[in-house]
Amino acid sequence: MTTPARTIEKSGAPQRPGTSPHLSWLHPLGLISLSVYNFVMRFLTLGIHHFWGKNEVRKRIWSSIRVEGEPLEYTGTGAELFRGFLVIFGIVFLPVMLATFSVAVFFGPDSGISKGFQGGLYLAFLLLTGVAIYRAQRYRLSRTRWRGIRASLVGSSLKYGWTYFWTMLLVPVTLGWISPWRATRLQRITTDDMRFGTTAFSFTASSRPLYGPFATFWLLMVAFLAALPFLVTAIVPWPDMFAASETGEFKPPRPEDMARIVVGVYFALFLLGVVYMILSAWYRAAMIRHFSRHTHIDGLSFASTVTPGGLMWITVSNFLLLVAGAVVATATLAAIGLFIWTLAGAGLGSAIGDSIPPEQIGGVLGVPMVLLFFLAMGMLLPVAQARSTGYLVSHLRLDGTLDTAAIEASAEQNIKRGEGLAQAFDIDAL
């Protein structure tokens, strides 16, 4: 066909070349109903709809990010996400599961070969984590457009994966002190590889300014970890189970002690999570602001005004939101179940009553209810994601100018993608 676009280009004057673009967040409406719809559909389609639901959520969140009032466009599809999952499931999870199983069966779960195999797997997964992170980012960027111009990530996922891997090994060795340097290094690889059309992003941050906030965080965290055992035992009385070990025979903990141990461990983990979230907020805020300030494209740089309090509030309120959503969903489903039970009446009741004595019905139904509750925790995840993204975007400013007319689409932009082995692994399975 002819290109009438050409004529429009000639006839209409470009909109303010070299503008100072305005970044804004237009909070998406109808996300709660979308969340509930996705949750219900996930059950009705035995889980498969998840990928399509996730994709629609992304479309809505991307659309809420506005540059010059014009939305980002997400062009990925649910089918792509599903295919990515099948690839990972088929070529990684299933073979690994079978191999682990076979090794354990033929050499014994505690044999040297089995342990070596497990260790090797763990290292391989650690190595692949970085590759997967990079490829997922590449996938998402390649499906992101603004004014029809696609973003991309042009580097090598192996390079990123390797850096991710060896610096990860150094985290325990350095007692965590490599973390700011590591985060900066990984962010530099990603940002320097990022393109909008043919225009490159650049990253100029050094890790030095992050060490002040990190040191504060590290010292407070160590102090807390030292106090944690005392805190936990003070609040959840620890059973006196080690007294028996003096006889030389290991005595399995009694069930009532077991419950206490489980509660204690979960309480400790919860406490750890909350305190980590609080203490790390200053460091995280400092990092976001530092990285933003040193990210550039064309004549633009970014400026973030996120605050520790803001990050904390988003995390806490999102958590409460997810719990509230799970409570409502579980209660609703329980009520529906009870209603059906009552309607079905004596027939169903006696059929089940034969096999389950009345005093056990609570126990039998309790486990599915707990499972359901944990599943339902994910129901309002789209709302939480939108709130987090909204917080970051509405506290991000673009400084300087962008010559939009000079930003060109990259050559391969409109080539049909998704073919060939390399693309087959640009998947977003995380």
Partner 1 sequence: MPYETDPPAFDGRYSDGKTAAAYNVRVGFSPRGLLIRGHNAADDLIWPYGALATAEPISSHAVDALVSYRHQPGASLFVPNGTFARQLAEAAPHLTTRAARRRAATPWLWTAAAVLVLVAGVFALQLSPARAIAGLMPDGLRNSLGNQTLRSMTSGKKVCETPAGRRAVENLAARLATGVPGETTFEITVVDWGLINAFATPGNKIVLTRGLIEKAGSADEIAGVLAHEMGHGIEMHPETSIVRAIGLSAAVELLMGGGGGTVGNIGVMLAQLSYSRQAEAEADDVALKLMRDAGIATDGLTDFFKRMNKLERSGDGDSNRTFDVLRSHPQTADRIRRISAQEKYPSKPALKPADWRALKTICAVPD
Is residue 371 a contact residue for partner 1 (CB under 8 A)? yes
Alpha carbon distances (Å) from 300 to 177, 389, 398, 402: 32, 21, 6, 6
Smaller CB separation from partner 1, 48 or 124: 48
Is residue 101 a contact residue for partner 1 (CB under 8 A)? yes
Tokens of 239: 């059973």
Is residue 160 a contact residue for partner 1 (CB under 8 A)? no
Q: Which residues contact 321 (CB under 8 A, 6 or more apart)?
A: 380, 383, 384, 387
Smaller CB separation from partner 1, 280 or 295: 295
Is residue 351 a contact residue for partner 1 (CB under 8 A)? no
Tell me how far apart the alpha carbons of residues 283 and 212 are, in angstroms, rounded to a whole number.
Answer: 9
Least separation in angstroms between CB 307 and partner 1: 29
Q: Each residue of 132-158: b (16+ CB within 10 Å) or e?
A: bbbbbbbbbbbbbbbeebbbbbeeebe
Tell me how far apart the alpha carbons of residues 321 and 36 are, in angstroms, rounded to a whole number.
Answer: 14
Is residue 113 a contact residue for partner 1 (CB under 8 A)? no
Least separation in angstroms between CB 64 and partner 1: 10
According to CB under 8 A, which one of 25, 35, 39, 60 is a site residue for partner 1?
Answer: 60
Least separation in angstroms between CB 367 and partner 1: 7
Three-state SS for 15? coil
Q: Which of residues 222-261 bind partner 1 (CB under 8 A)?
A: 252, 254-255
| Nearest to 64, CA basis, from 421, 382, 403 | 382
Tell me how far apart the alpha carbons of residues 250 and 400 are, in angstroms, rounded to a whole number.
Answer: 69
The helix (run of H) or strand (run of E) holding residue 38 is: helix 31-44
According to CB under 8 A, which one of 22, 24, 47, 125 is a site residue for partner 1?
Answer: 47
Is residue 411 a contact residue for partner 1 (CB under 8 A)? no
Tell me how far apart the alpha carbons of residues 321 and 329 are, in angstroms, rounded to a whole number.
Answer: 12
- Residues touching partner 1, count (CB under 8 A): 81
Least separation in angstroms between CB 213 and partner 1: 32
According to CB under 8 A, which one of 71, 155, 239, 310 is a site residue for partner 1?
Answer: 71
Is residue 275 a contact residue for partner 1 (CB under 8 A)? no
Smaller CB separation from partner 1, 44 or 421: 44
Tokens of 408: 């060109």
Chain mean position to CA 43: 22
Helices 112-142 & 94-107, crossing angle to 10 degrees? Answer: 180
Tokens of 207: 């890790």
Is residue 399 a contact residue for partner 1 (CB under 8 A)? no
Strand ranges across the sheet with 295-297: 73-74, 144-146, 149-153, 194-196, 199-203, 295-297, 299-304, 396-401
Amino acid at position 178, single letter:
I
Is residue 147 a contact residue for partner 1 (CB under 8 A)? yes
Cβ contact 283:210 at 8 Å = yes
| Nearest to 231, CA basis, from 177, 189, 268, 178 | 268
Is residue 421 a contact residue for partner 1 (CB under 8 A)? no
Which of the ranges 187-195, 278-286, 340-348, 351-359 carries the binding residues for partner 1, by CB under 8 A?
Answer: 351-359
Which of the ranges 93-101, 204-212, 260-268, 313-321 carries the binding residues for partner 1, by CB under 8 A?
Answer: 93-101
Is residue 134 a contact residue for partner 1 (CB under 8 A)? no
Smaller CB separation from partner 1, 136 or 220: 136
What are 153's strand-pairing partners? 194
Which of the ranges 27-35, 315-323, 344-352, 419-427 carries the binding residues for partner 1, by CB under 8 A?
Answer: 27-35
Least separation in angstroms between CB 409 and partner 1: 6
Least separation in angstroms between CB 106 and partner 1: 5
Which of the ranges 3-11, 216-224, 260-268, 382-390 carries the binding residues for partner 1, by CB under 8 A?
Answer: 3-11
Is residue 49 a contact residue for partner 1 (CB under 8 A)? yes
